[in-house]
Amino acid sequence: MEVYFDNSATTKPYDEVIDTMAEIMRNYYGNPSSAHSLGLMAEKKLNEAREAIAKTLNVSASEIVFTSGGSESNNFLLTGFVKEGAHVITTKTEHPSVLNTCMEMEGRGVEVTYLNVDNEGKIDLNELEKSINKNTQLVSIMHVNNETGIIQDIEAIGKLIKEKSSRAKFHVDAVQSYGKLNINIQSSGIDLLSASAHKIHGPRGAGIAYIRKGLTPKPLIYGGGQEKRLRSGTENLAAYAGFAKAVEIIYKNREKNFEHVLNIKKHFLNSIASMKGIKINGQHINDFSPYILSISFIGVRGEVLLHMLEAESVFVSTGSACAARDTKDSYVLKAIGLKNEEIKGTIRFSFSEFNTFSEVDKAINALSKCLKFLRRG
């Protein structure tokens, strides 16, 4: 039995998504910008996909711009709005697509404040409030951290931003929460949001940028004027239709999936509770996404354990897949105060609706076997 616990890196596409994409490629191959009937048929499918995704966020379809994924959306929404001389606020634990963009903007005269986090990864609202000033143009905060699963209180954050500044826009990186947790755009005061298809059993190469009506970012790609002249280039219709199919399925079962995955995580935690030499990175289960579990195995190298588990057909990661080939220790785990030994021994287990209790049992047995070997003597 193959156990896939790396769903924060990417998820297995639904069969219906694959079927939808095949149908689109076979029967709707016209360019959505073409004036003939094949183009109009493709454009209709593109509009249907946009409307299906907009519906899940309770926003207008005109506020959704298709992109190639979460990283592109984050880059687009930050660079599209922030001007030279402006002030931006983010946190020390954001995804590299936000942090690296912020560092690039610093080189162009943008001032960036990187908020600290506590030992579970939460930001301090008082620090956020003190950081907002008259030049603050954008606050960018991740809803669910991709390494630890900590959930930021985006409703409280959005309310604070709006009370403190009428100028500052609120961007939420929702790549690890869209389709899994409740997101209320209006009550959270969200102006901009990023999401990705392949985190919710959709295809890779498809994402969205939500842009509140009335806001006009600088275009990401110049060209033929597709996507309201914000992201030119022939639309990846099959991927966007596949994204919409994934959204349709996952939103129909979102609450049921949440409960199932939460029970999977609880079963994992109960099963591992008596294991010696481990540290659960997140003690308050309700503050963390049920889809992500970070554990430090003291005295063990995470990469070695990862490959030993792979030999047992259990697939996990040492942290963010985007930084898997980076030899530096995780900046996220450093930011929450983990010791070097704990960081080097950390494994991320990330779950999906497809996982079962028997898969957890197999993973725990494999973990016990691998740790016994690694700690022998």
Residue 374 CA neighbour count, 13 Å, CB half: 21
In sequence order, the 6+-apart residues with CB closer than 8 A to the CB of 23 are none
Question: Any bridge partners for residue 196, and if so which?
Answer: 207
* Residue from 181, 321, 322, 374 carrying the catalytic annotation: 322
> In the numeric block, which tokens belong to residue 306?
């990862």
Rg of the chain in Å (alpha carbons): 21
Q: 76 to each of 157, 188, 204, 221, 338, how far by Cα in Å?
A: 22, 21, 18, 9, 32
Report yes or no: 169 and 191 within 8 Å, Cβ to Cβ. yes
Report yes or no: 5 and 316 within 8 Å, Cβ to Cβ. yes
Report yes or no: 155 and 186 within 8 Å, Cβ to Cβ. no
Q: 254 to each of 182, 239, 246, 311, how far by Cα in Å?
A: 9, 21, 11, 33
In sequence order, the 6+-apart residues with CB closer than 8 A to the CB of 294 are 147, 148, 149, 280, 281, 282, 333, 346, 347, 348, 349
In whole angstroms, what separates CA 307 from the centre of its chain? 25
Residue entry with tokens 């047992």: 312
* 322 three-state secondary structure: helix
Report yes or no: 89 and 129 within 8 Å, Cβ to Cβ. no
Active site residue 322: yes
> In the numeric block, which tokens belong to residue 199?
């985190």
Active site residues: 322
